[in-house]
Amino acid sequence: MTEPVRERPRQSKDLRARPAAETEQKRRSMSRQRSRDTGPELAIRTRLHAMGYRYRVDHRPLPAVRTRGDIVFTRARLVVFVDGCFWHQCPVHRTSPRHNGDWWEAKLAANVERDRATDLRLAGAGFRVVRIWEHEPPDEAVATIVRALGAP
């Protein structure tokens, strides 16, 4: 029997051990980062729903894949990720934290690597993947998704 394929690369132990936050205010701020129902996601979902599209939210497209799509059109086999500029290293808005810089550099690089691995795994299973940056205007993001879906 073969061992199941891991979805994401193993992180080194020093990367999993989060360093202490620089300040209590920063710790509170980072702990409140939403993983779903962000402003950009809600704006896109509202427009799609108003256009008559139905989809699943925060859905795991494949049972063996840990990653959850932000918007998943199961019948059309389309997975949409609305990526945050910081966490997924947007080429336009990427920033580098000053505190614990080495740890953050490795962490964010691992996020990007995991995104690419997820895209390949989903494509291999017959899904199309659309990645939207959080800074993209919602109407443009919706147009991209509708093009990927084809005519309703």
What is the rounded CA–CA span in Å between residue 152 and residue 146? 8
Q: What percent of the chain has pLDDT over 90?
A: 53
Return the SS3 of 73: strand
Give the pTM: 0.77
Q: How would residue 113 be classed by pLDDT, with cut points 50, 70 and 90?
A: very high
The pLDDT assigned to 92 comes to 83
Mean pLDDT for the chain overall: 83
Which amino acid, 149?
Answer: L
Which amino acid, 72?
Answer: V
Has residue 3 got a pLDDT over 70? no
CATH code, residues 34-149? 3.40.960.10
Domain coordinates in residue numbering, the chain:
34-149
Has residue 8 got a pLDDT over 60? no
Has residue 52 got a pLDDT over 50? yes
Cβ atoms 70, 80 nearer than 8 A: yes
What is the rounded CA–CA span in Å between residue 103 and residue 14? 8
Q: What is the pLDDT of residues 37-49, one digit of tens each?
A: 799 999 999 999 9
What is the rounded CA–CA span in Å between residue 57 and residue 86? 22
